[in-house]
Structure 1
Amino acid sequence: MILKGLKEKSIKKNLNLILKTRVVDSSNNKIETLGILLNADETNDFETLKTIAETLNVRPNKLKIIAFTTSKKEVTYSWNVCFNQKDFNWKGKINNVELQSFLDTKFDILISYYSEDVLELKYLTAASNAKFKVGIFQNDKRINDLIIKTDFKNIKAFKTELLKYVTVLNKIKK
């Protein structure tokens, strides 16, 4: 129990440090690479999420999807990788090479597709090296550059709104 409390406190501290020192990339780069971070406890509709890449004209080999679950047991899904709380050490640092590789990837856009307030998911979003971060409505507005308030289960509405905003921001590659 004590280690769990230390882990949570460390993750919160690291999250706040990242958010304080974050520099927003205001360049007008076109979207070529896409990362999607989702909560496996909320959704497992992988195929529908893949259509977001098609909507943004991102090739399938430039798309990487990872999922996070609060479940302690090993869960396997049909997508790339699924992580859980065991992938964080007691200091709040990531101890999984694949997860760290995802965070180090400089995606043109990262979509945080989760609605539950899970500390680890917020940390992963903030720690990502993505140039532009988009998410569903969340309590902490510092985490994403663009927040699209839609119903979580209505991915079609999310895609429509996302396309509208990235077109206005001139980030779509034709």
Structure 2
Amino acid sequence: MIFKGIKLAAFKRKIARLAENKYRETSVSSIKTIAIILDIKNYKYLEVLKQVGEQLDLQEDDLKIAMYTEKSIDVEGYKGMLFSLKDISLTAEINNSELSDFTKQDIDLLITFTDENNTAVHLLTAYCNAGIKVGRFQKNEALLDWIIKSEDNAQVFVDELINYIKKLKLSQHE
């Protein structure tokens, strides 16, 4: 338990350093790739979250998914990437090549839909090379470009996100 606390403290320091760096700019009119990071507690909302890609007419290959689990377990019906604390070193470096590759991809829109205090997911969010990072908690303001306060209602989150994207696309074309 103490070891996990030390590891999470290192994660928080790394998150603060990574949050200071802006990776790249993305225009909402050029969203061609989406990544979703969620935790196992919010797995039930995955199909709802995928609607963002459908609404933007993206292909299934343009959507990447990573899900955090406390322990390395198989999740029935899930075909995306799983990660856990064991995939991140004590110094907050990613030591899983698949997870590292995920963070290095150019992602236009990154959606983080997890519990508010999921430090491992926040670290992955900070590592990701994404143009627009969206989440739902004010506490993560330094990491995110957009915050959509939707509590646990994934449909409200998706509807609001699509609404913002559509309005911004219209304003960019004026």
Unpaired runs of 5+ residues, structure 1, are none
Give structure 2 stretches of 5+ with no counterpart. Answer: none
Q: Cα deviation per residue 1:57-90 (whole Å; 9 max; x = unaligned)?
A: 2211111111002x22423341311111111111
Secondary structure in structure 1 of the residue aligned to 2:67: strand
Cα distance in 2 for residues equivalent to 1:66 and 1:82: 6
Equivalent-residue separation in structure 2 for 1:109 and 1:3 (angstroms): 34
**Equivalent runs, 1:14-163 vs 2, <5 Å:** 14-22=14-22, 25=25, 27=27, 29-69=29-69, 71-77=70-76, 78-152=78-152, 154-163=153-162
Q: Aligned partners of 1:103, 1:37: CA distance in 2, in Å? A: 11
Q: Give the drift of 1:91.
A: 1.2
CA RMSD of aligned residues (A): 2.1
TM-score (norm 2): 0.86
Contact 1:19–1:142 (CA under 8 A) maintained in structure 2: yes
Kindly provide the amino acid, as one letter, of the partner of residue 135 in structure 1: G
**Offset, 1:108:** 0.7
Distance 1:28 1:165, change over 3 A: closer
Amino acid corresponding to residue 120 of structure 1 in structure 2: A
Higher-helix-fraction structure? 2
- 3-state DSSP of counterpart to 2:92: coil
- d(CA) in 2 for partners of 1:107, 1:56: 14
User: Structure 2 CA distance, aligned partners of 1:129 and 1:32?
Assistant: 14
User: Is the 2:133–2:146 contact (alpha carbons within 8 Å) kept by the matching residues of 1?
Assistant: yes
How far off is 1:131 after superposition?
0.6
Say whether the 8 Å CA contact 2:23–2:129 is kept in structure 1. no
Q: Which amino acid aligns with 1:169?
A: L
* Count of aligned residue pairs for this structure pair: 169
Query: What is the CA–CA distance in structure 2 between the aligned matches of 1:150 and 1:27, rounded to whole Å?
Result: 24
Q: Please give the alpha-carbon distance, in whole angstroms, between the structure 2 residues aligned to 1:60 and 1:51.
A: 11
The answer on whether the counterparts of 2:133 and 2:145 sit within 8 Å (CA) in structure 1 is yes
Is contact 2:34–2:62 with CA below 8 Å preserved after alignment? yes
**Equivalent pair of 1:115/1:136 in contact (CA under 8 Å):** no
Answer whether contact 1:38 1:68 (CA < 8 A) is retained.
Answer: yes
Change in CA separation of 1:24 and 1:73 when aligned onto 2, cut-off 3 Å: closer
Normalised to the residue count of structure 1, the TM-score between the two structures is 0.86
Which residue of structure 2 lines up, in the alignment, with residue 167 of structure 1?
166
Conserved in 2, the CA contact under 8 Å of 1:39 and 1:67? yes
Residue 52 of structure 1, CA deviation: 2.1
In structure 2, what is the Cα distance between the partners aligned to 1:138 and 1:43?
Answer: 21
